Amino acid sequence: MNVYFFKWRLYNQMGDNMIKSGIDIVEVKRIERLIKSESFVRKIFSDNEMAYLEERKYKATTAAGIFCAKEAVSKCLGTGIAGFSWHDIEILRNDLGRPFVVLGGKALKLSEEKRIVRFDISITHIEDYALSIAIAEQDEAFFIPLGIGPFMLPEREANTHKGDYGKLVVIGGKEGMAGSVYLAGLAALKSGTGLVYVIPPNSIYEILSIKLNEVIIEKLSASQAYLMDDDLNKIMIYTEQHDAMCLGTGIGTNDKTKKLVREILDLFDRPIVLDADGLNCINGTVEILKSRRAMTIITPHTMEMARLMDVSPEAVEKDRIKTAMDFSKRYGVITVLKGHETIVSDGIDFYINTTGNPGMATAGSGDVLTGIIGAFVSQGFDPYFAAKLGVFIHGLSGDLVKRKYGEYGMIASNLIESLPHAIKMCTKKE
């Protein structure tokens, strides 16, 4: 269970944030009778709380204070204890003896939904009664996304350089489709990759050189309007030192392009994120995925998945989880089946994404996702984790954009603007 600690002091001025309060009072003699029951103690108090009570020799006033503090916090949450376990709210003490709140389980999820960012708790005793007041601060401009727990990233070490964070190459684009590799390359940089390279056909080389200041653009000789297999040897030389590859965004489906994509899949022995027309280039030859010497992450939407499997879109949508799992297991790939509640599967396990919104149904959104996933793979994360993390952060970025612009006006470059904030939200504070 993932647990977040709330140890903030109460401020006299809360700005525009909303404050919720809860109060509870309990008769000490009532708790004195109840703590004689082992079942009551184990039901109400966590292991940490019982350890503290043991230190205090199970004083009734101490037990009563913790009991009513839990009730006060539950009232801040707006439910009372009903709906979650007593253990989901812990009342602990810091080194100075001041009580603070620790939430877990359903209580934590509820606090996230209500955007509670600060708790303060006070416990006192009045004659034969224990009294507790809890204060919760809600920040309407801040939210903690549900499901963030598994995706908390470590802070970076101080003594590192760009070479420590991976080299990613993005291969794709054609005349009229410069935006696809632009978005993927920039998204990869914004997701933390140390070095990003783009290999486009010559027709869009100058455009990308102007638009991408921090990305390295490699120039080919044979490929003009579209990428073609005549440049295979040069591409393989360019990519010798790269940790991962994004292949297929905006690449087209010319016969020479198809041949190039298949050759790269066969020769490149590191992870590849295969997307968009890259997937369409292997229609009818999907068996090539089985023989790859490294992991392949495919990122199809429903229509692309249907073409890969030679089935109808309705067949894909009938059971999206089974579709993704079966394809991954059969071909030894990680499948990211895009759509509402994107499915990620490695053929053994599956993940259903909870972030994102309909505003992300816009041109280039998938290219951004490809760059994000490729970025995390190039940084050394396990490919299955990188795929799940990429999908989660992609959707979280979309949710941040929605809060700023709404769903109708959202475009793919807005997602890239919000990526640093989304990743910051997923970074642990040591």
Could you write out the DSSP letters of every residue in 112-126?
A: HHTTEEEEEEEEEEE
pLDDT-derived band at 6, boundaries 50, 70, 90: very low
For residues 394 and 368, the answer to whether their CB atoms sit within 8 Å is: yes
Question: Which contiguous run of DSSP H or E holds residue 132?
Answer: strand 129-138
pLDDT at 183: 98
Question: For 67-120, how does the pLDDT look when each residue is reduced to its tens digit (9 = 90+)?
Answer: 999 999 999 888 888 778 899 999 999 888 899 999 988 888 888 777 787 789
User: What whole-number distance in Å separates Cα of residue 113 and Cα of residue 115?
Assistant: 5
Q: Is the pLDDT of residue 313 over 50?
A: yes
Q: Is the pTM of this model over 0.85?
A: no
* Pairing mode, strands 272-274 and 244-247: parallel
pLDDT at 142: 55
Q: Is the pLDDT of residue 10 over 50?
A: no
227 phi and psi, to 5 degrees?
-75, 145
Average pLDDT, the chain: 91
pLDDT-derived band at 3, boundaries 50, 70, 90: very low
Pure H helices in 114-249 = 178-190, 205-211, 232-238
SS3 string, 10-38, reads CCCCCCCCEEEEEEEEEEHHHHHHHCCCH
User: What whole-number distance in Å separates Cα of residue 316 and Cα of residue 312?
Assistant: 7
* Pairing mode, strands 195-199 and 167-171: parallel
99 phi and psi, to 5 degrees?
-75, 145
Question: For 118-142, how does the pLDDT look when each residue is reduced to its tens digit (9 = 90+)?
Answer: 789 999 988 899 999 999 887 655 5
Q: Report the share of the chain in percent with pLDDT over 90.
A: 80
pLDDT at 18: 63
Domain 149-425 class, CATH top level: alpha beta
Q: Is the pLDDT of residue 270 over 50?
A: yes
pLDDT at 11: 32
Classified as helix, coil or strand, 272 is strand
User: What whole-number distance in Å separates Cα of residue 387 and Cα of residue 373?
Assistant: 5
Classified as helix, coil or strand, 225 is coil
pLDDT at 17: 52
Instruction: List the CATH code of the domain at 4-138.
Output: 3.90.470.20
Q: Is the pLDDT of residue 1 over 70?
A: no
Question: For 382-420, how does the pLDDT look when each residue is reduced to its tens digit (9 = 90+)?
Answer: 999 999 999 999 999 999 999 889 999 999 999 999 999
Question: Which contiguous run of DSSP H or E holds residue 208?
Answer: helix 205-211
What burial class does residue 244 get, using C-beta atoms within 10 Å of its C-beta: 0-12 exposed, 13-18 middle, 19+ buried? buried
Domain with CATH 3.40.1190.20 in the chain: 149-425
Domain with CATH 3.90.470.20 in the chain: 4-138
pLDDT at 9: 30
pLDDT at 342: 98
Question: For 281-298, how does the pLDDT look when each residue is reduced to its tens digit (9 = 90+)?
Answer: 999 999 999 999 999 999
Torsion of CA 223, 227, 231, 232, to 10 degrees: 180
